[in-house]
Structure 1
Amino acid sequence: MERLAGKVMLLSGTRRALTAFLAGLVGVLALPPFGFLAALFVSFTLLVWLLDGASAAPEAGFLRRLAPAFRIGWTFGFGYFVGGLWWLGNALLVEADAFAWALPLAVFGLPAFLALYYGFAAALARLLWSDGMGRIAALAFAFGVGEWLRSTLFTGFPWNAVGYGAMPVPLLMQSSGLVGLAGMNALAVFVFAAPALLGTRRGRVPGLGLAALLFAAHVGYGYYALNVVPTPESAATVVRLVQPVIDQAMKLDDSARADIFERHLALSAAAPEGGKRPDVIVWPETSIPFILTDNPDALVRIADVLEDDQVLIAGAVRTESAGSGKAPRYYNSIYAIDGKGQIVAAADKVHLVPFGEYMPFADLFESLGVDAVAMPGGFSAARAPQLLTASGKGFYPLVCYEAIFPEEMASVADDAVALLNVTNDAWFGNTPGPYQHFLQARLRAVERGAPLIRAANNGISAVIDAKGRVVAGLSYDVPGFVDATLPGKLTSGEAGKWRNWAFPVTLALLLAMAGISRAGFRNRVN
């Protein structure tokens, strides 16, 4: 391994850049739908060896000394994000005549931007670099900071954070309930990068030992949480998830609106298959294909399908007046409708998708004739999250990709009986996108210790328990419905007791390890 490490460290030019790109690309295999966790061990081991050789001339200025490391980190990130996010281009092909020109921006432009965070992380790590275990701690610290920034700056986009690669199955998901996604990002990088110590002599035993201990604790806590911590009793509520599998092009066809609506109603009215009649029926994001308040006959049709004590929760576009002479505002919303056809509650999406649901720098892009992909003119955002209350129960609404932001979930989520994620991943076709989204949504259930109800137009729809296990669901491209009894919640003491402190404490420990090692390294050199 020392010979291999030396060869990688001494790579230069195109071969060095290509190795960094491929290292990032290989890491994508740890993400859904593959879930090959070992891929990230290869990725980060190569990254460490490449950074070992990322040095500049001693007389170079501060930024020039960091430039080689930044380039390696950026190229690594570019491979990771191109491989993990290429499917975003599929959304632009739904209306190819209007948006195909932007395909290179989605497939390569966004990854090039996101790779800046990994370039920053590599440069930050290089500041703390040493010749032993300390450099592994430096990389873990730096990536923890980089991933946190990626989830925060410019509205944030933590999709495919490194920590998800360490949590492909429920056994390996439970640690996120203790340390959160941010903590998992840093700890996962330490474990994934530790095999690089096989290529060096200093710090090999303690570094590999600590990584093995962390991984054993990760698995051990997962076993404990799944098999020892009592599973909460299920509620008496039966939930039906409706998955109509409607092609996105059809959803954009005005002439198909009546057929789409009737398809949802038919699946809602179907008799349960040997079980109890559902108390709550859930439709996906924007499943109501028109402005509901402008179509009172639609509310009558819903009332015809529902029993008096049933409730329909459905994604819809909501509109409200913006004042005299102004265009109305539109919201990506969720309605709760009772058995009498009355709208009893509504919740609007808070975190909108840039360029998809609204246009940053709207005046500039309007002058160029560029509009939001999913909604011409764009949606307006709600001011703050709020519970959606139906039948006396509070559900915490997460519209589409709001489910990927763990730190943005408001404290009112603690009062909900379940998290509620409605989405329309049909934009992305049968690509890795819907599978990646599903995993990220599942982790929110584990982190909050609450069940998750997830209804998707074309999959993956499921009821998830508080430990991230699928109770019942429908796979991608499978039309129909599924009924399930809503699982119970874990108590607040069992779920996330230390999560708020885990990330800063983890960063502090990693920084201390890296700093001490760096100081010792400089003393040895001098």
Structure 2
Amino acid sequence: MITRLSTGVATLRGWRRAGLAFAAGALAALAMAPFDLFPVLAISLPVAVWLLDGLALDGPPDATGRTRGFALRDAAAAAGLGWLFGLGYFLAGLWWIGSAFLVDADQFAWLMPFAVVMLPAGLALFTALAFALARLLWSPGPGRIAAFAVALAGAEWLRGHVLTGFPWNLFGYALASEIHLAQSLSLVGIYGLTLITLLLFASPALMAGRGGWRWPALALALLLAMAGFGAWRLAGTPTSFVDKVQLRIMQPNVPQNDKFNPSLRNQILTQYLALSRQPTADGADGMAKVTDLIWPESAFPFLLSSDPDALAVLGDLLKPNAVLLTGAGRAEQPTTDDGPVLYYNSLHVIDATGTIIGNYDKVHLVPFGEYLPFQSFLESIGLRQLTEQRGGFTPGPGLRTLDIPNAPPVGVLVCYEAIFPDAAIDAAHRPGWLLNVTNDGWFGLTPGPYQHFVQARARAVEEGLPLVRAGNDGISAVIDPVGRVLARLPLGTSGVLDSRLPAALAPTAFAKAGNTIIAILFLIATICAVCFRRAPQTEA
């Protein structure tokens, strides 16, 4: 049956082939949060392999009676299939981005169809490149699985780095959603897990042939071994806590339309203060034992650092020796008379005197959200970024660890900075915990915030560091260094979350040698693909 199915897929032509490539990509998106149906990859990826197999059947047979084989021109056809597969995957997985264009609908709604289609179409160029490269390394036997996996995983790495990168929904996140399988992140990181995921779930394509069950059985055994490693690591790593640190996370759930409305200054500040003072479950003073009060990204519709009255109010909220860590916009005055004012998306650390004692400026800004590429040209034709700040934000000078009173040093990740696996911490000053402040209110109750949460949690497992997350509308949480969610506020609600701070682990294997480990995995997979291609093939 599997052989008949593979033959049927390989012999498709025209719109049927194109449609199946698109549908297989769209099906793969169900492996991501909030659906987490990772077994669907065992259908979509083999279909992709069989579609690539079919390219060898397109031409007439040569003098020996064989089809024309694996010519370089096959790469163009493979790229077309890859683009359609990627378009389906990214369109089904990222359609929710369009919600951001409805926040200021009168200004941006007309752009929504373009954004929803053009971003997936652009990202699909990476899968097009992957399919073309895989086809050039193709061989009739098991080597084509290695070729497919290493090419697509390599394209995923490029997607995470080219033009500042957008490593959203890397294929490895399909397994990272399951906490036992996620423990492999501590060894190989998300790019290594992406390569492994593609190898494992493309292997059922080999069942179409004599003895083909051996490779999927090996893949299943490896998956079970990964789960066993995860169970062993979780059992041997109980959660411990930092002494004398008490967190309170405030999740206001302010509508996105109100977040940047200066006329609502007092109303929003009053809401934040009331929520932060909310009594504990036993009726005690909510702020009595708090050492670190955490508010989300872009908390204020005004520049907090330029508002001494608001800073004084925040100082009064805090007990002595406590601090507030809050997202806020920050302005830096020009150093010359004709210089521009620079604006940053920042996190402030504020003490009980109302003084800003620490600051971090976001490094990875969101293209078209926080700044416009080719800003002068695009503004000249009437476009601007989604945030209200004219001219957009300026990127900060780089990752850095903040030293704060009464708690371990903290590594700050503002919003989608949490999706960059090789840019999560300042390696020169390893933090004791990670803080992700975010505002996913742009995207409402869609899959986007759930996907963002899974990716942020993956950074904790990779680095062996606890992660504390504060979102305007969720998902706020406290996560220990092996990825266990200790406390959580659901999406679309307001409230406070009280928790102790989990203690960090020693640096993981990935934290110590991540790029080296990933390079070795890619090299091994590439060697396998090349060696299988050169070896004599006894069966297709």
Q: What is the TM-score when the length of structure 1 is the normalising length?
A: 0.96
1:288 Cα deviation after fit = 2.4
1:191 Cα deviation after fit = 0.5
1:494 & 1:402 partners in 2: Cα distance? 22
- The answer to whether the 8 Å contact 2:81/2:131 transfers is yes
1:367 & 1:62 partners in 2: Cα distance? 47
Stretch deviating more after TM superposition (153-162 or 488-497): 488-497
**498 and 216 in structure 1: CA distance in 2 versus 1, 3 angstrom threshold:** farther
Q: Does 1:520 align with 2:535?
A: yes
Q: Does 1:178 align with 2:181?
A: no
1:63 & 1:134 partners in 2: Cα distance? 18
Name the counterpart of 1:50. 51
Stretch deviating more after TM superposition (362-371 or 269-278): 269-278
1:304 & 1:231 partners in 2: Cα distance? 33
The alignment partner of 2:411 has SS state of strand
After superposition, give the CA deviation of every residue in 1:323-351 in whole Å (9 maximum; x if it has no partner): 31233100000000001111110000001
AA partner of residue 17 (structure 1): A
The alignment partner of 2:469 has SS state of strand
Name the counterpart of 1:252. 260
1:149 & 1:371 partners in 2: Cα distance? 27
2:516 & 2:404 partners in 1: Cα distance? 34
Give the one of 251, 266, 275 matched to 1:267.
Answer: 275
Name the counterpart of 1:360. 373
After superposition, give the CA deviation of every residue in 1:70-128 in whole Å (9 maximum; x if it has no partner): 11111011000000000001001111111112112221100000001011111111111
Give the one of 323, 344, 352 matched to 1:331.
Answer: 344
Name the counterpart of 2:169. 160
- The answer to whether the 8 Å contact 1:348/1:381 transfers is yes
CA RMSD, 1 decimal? 2.0
For 1:472-491, list aligned pairs within 5 A: 472-491=487-506
Name the counterpart of 1:301. 313
Give the one of 366, 388, 392 matched to 2:402.
Answer: 388
AA partner of residue 235 (structure 2): N
Name the counterpart of 2:62. none
Q: What is the TM-score when the length of structure 2 is the normalising length?
A: 0.93
1:73 & 1:319 partners in 2: Cα distance? 44
- The answer to whether the 8 Å contact 2:464/2:508 transfers is no
**391 and 70 in structure 1: CA distance in 2 versus 1, 3 angstrom threshold:** same
1:10 & 1:440 partners in 2: Cα distance? 38
1:235 & 1:50 partners in 2: Cα distance? 57
1:194 & 1:60 partners in 2: Cα distance? 22
- The answer to whether the 8 Å contact 2:242/2:502 transfers is yes
Give the one of 398, 402, 412 matched to 2:413.
Answer: 398
1:114 & 1:102 partners in 2: Cα distance? 18
**493 and 169 in structure 1: CA distance in 2 versus 1, 3 angstrom threshold:** closer
1:509 Cα deviation after fit = 1.1
**522 and 70 in structure 1: CA distance in 2 versus 1, 3 angstrom threshold:** farther
AA partner of residue 500 (structure 2): T
**413 and 182 in structure 1: CA distance in 2 versus 1, 3 angstrom threshold:** farther
Name the counterpart of 2:13. 12
AA partner of residue 77 (structure 1): G
Give the one of 227, 242, 245 matched to 2:235.
Answer: 227
AA partner of residue 361 (structure 1): F
1:127 & 1:494 partners in 2: Cα distance? 33
- The answer to whether the 8 Å contact 1:243/1:283 transfers is yes
**88 and 146 in structure 1: CA distance in 2 versus 1, 3 angstrom threshold:** same
The alignment partner of 1:24 has SS state of helix
Name the counterpart of 2:64. none
- The answer to whether the 8 Å contact 1:132/1:200 transfers is no
The alignment partner of 1:341 has SS state of coil
1:429 & 1:99 partners in 2: Cα distance? 16
AA partner of residue 434 (structure 2): L
- The answer to whether the 8 Å contact 1:178/1:498 transfers is no
Stretch deviating more after TM superposition (364-373 or 408-417): 408-417
How many residue pairs get matched? 524
AA partner of residue 16 (structure 1): R
- The answer to whether the 8 Å contact 1:269/1:306 transfers is no
The alignment partner of 1:308 has SS state of coil
- The answer to whether the 8 Å contact 2:31/2:37 transfers is yes
Structure 1: gaps (5+ residues): none
- The answer to whether the 8 Å contact 1:413/1:419 transfers is no
**235 and 445 in structure 1: CA distance in 2 versus 1, 3 angstrom threshold:** farther
